[in-house]
Amino acid sequence: MTPLSAAPPLVIDERHIDRRLYPHGIAFMDGQYLRMSEAKISVLDWGFLHSDATYDTVHVWNGRFFRLDLHLDRFWSGIERLRMKLPYDREEVASILSQCVALSGLKAAYVDMICTRGSSPTFSRDPRQADNRFIAFAIPFGSVANEEQLERGLHVAISDTVRIPPKSVDPATKNFHWLDLVKGLFEAYDKKAETALILDTNGHIAEGPGFNVFFVKEGALRTPAFGVLQGITRRTVFDLCAEIELLVRAADVTCAELKGADEVFITSTAGGIMPVTRIDHTAIGNGRVGPITRQLTDLYWQKHDDPAWSTPVVYP
């Protein structure tokens, strides 16, 4: 692997990049740093053909990775569960991610690490014969909620769609199985909502496209326990609650409990803690962003400069 100081200078001629297709950013694949428009995988990669892949997304804020160790832990456990192998160790992956950000010059970035099953030269149907592929990239930071939605709270629809059972696709392994989530999104748009929450196999609330959900009732918080990705932002909410002595637990959440809550918010690396003020036709609480949501959001962003929670990117 090329260390940052020895990385070749990357001169990008902006005139040759179609920004409608490719954002600014730098990718790493097959051993090379590339502009986003050059980062292409084979159509024979099982990651593309069968969603046979795991990935993780970490963000960079003010030039610092937020909770990088937790993201690397989750990525590595996904790779092991899917019986994949990487040619890089943990420190090398951390360094590649840092170089993608440094070479892109981004101070606020959305950073992905991906391991796909890859493909075999003989197009074998045996997954053990595939050469697994590692891809990383850093592009500008993006959020589930835009500025207006962060200010007034998101409008969410609860979809009838059921999240794929954990015994079929384990949500704890972060994956690209999104057909259920995308179906939920289209149903939400049909109902004039901005995003969706979908159900677990028991009819309880599970999660949404790229986020977990929490509700606050009488000062205590709850988030679904079953059939969801153990989000790093979700975990961060537990850590922040411990710090400010708020009660929080993971357990089943019904649709009625969510609609009857004092406050609701969603959590994702893509946006942090984001308020929800309407679910279907019901206003949550008084219909405005609640005080506990605001307090946790402020604390969450304060932690981004704290060396105990963040790691600096080394820019050239």
Residues that bind ligand PLP (CB under 6 A): 57, 207, 210-212, 229, 231-234, 267-269
Tell me the closest approach of the beta carbon of residue 238 to ligand PLP, in angstroms. 12
Residue whose CB is less far from ligand PLP, 99 or 269: 269
- Sort strands 109-119 and 248-250 into parallel, antiparallel or unpaired: unpaired
Tell me the closest approach of the beta carbon of residue 24 to ligand PLP, in angstroms. 21
Tell me the closest approach of the beta carbon of residue 104 to ligand PLP, in angstroms. 20
Residue whose CB is less far from ligand PLP, 161 or 268: 268
Tell me the closest approach of the beta carbon of residue 281 to ligand PLP, in angstroms. 25
Residue whose CB is less far from ligand PLP, 1 or 70: 70
CA distance linking residue 221 with residue 120, whole number of Å:
48
Cα torsion angle, 31, 32, 36, 37, sign: negative
Residue whose CB is less far from ligand PLP, 98 or 223: 223
In three-state form (DSSP H/G/I as H, E/B as E, the rest C), the secondary structure along 118-152 is EECCCCCCCHHHCEEEEEEEEEECCCCCCHHHHHH
Tokens linked to 126: 């045996």
| Cβ(258)–Cβ(251) below 8 Å | no
Q: How far is CA 300 from the centre of its chain?
A: 16
- Kindly give the interhelix angle for 232-244 and 68-81, rounded to the nearest 10 degrees: 140
**Which of helix, strand or coil describes residue 14?**
helix
Query: Which residue of the chain is nearest ligand PLP when measured via CB?
Result: 231
Tell me the closest approach of the beta carbon of residue 195 to ligand PLP, in angstroms. 12
Say which residues have a Cβ less than 8 Å from residue 56's Cβ, sequence separation at least 6.
Answer: 71, 72, 74, 75, 78, 112, 113, 174
Tell me the closest approach of the beta carbon of residue 210 to ligand PLP, in angstroms. 4
Residue whose CB is less far from ligand PLP, 30 or 160: 160
Residue whose CB is less far from ligand PLP, 34 or 185: 185
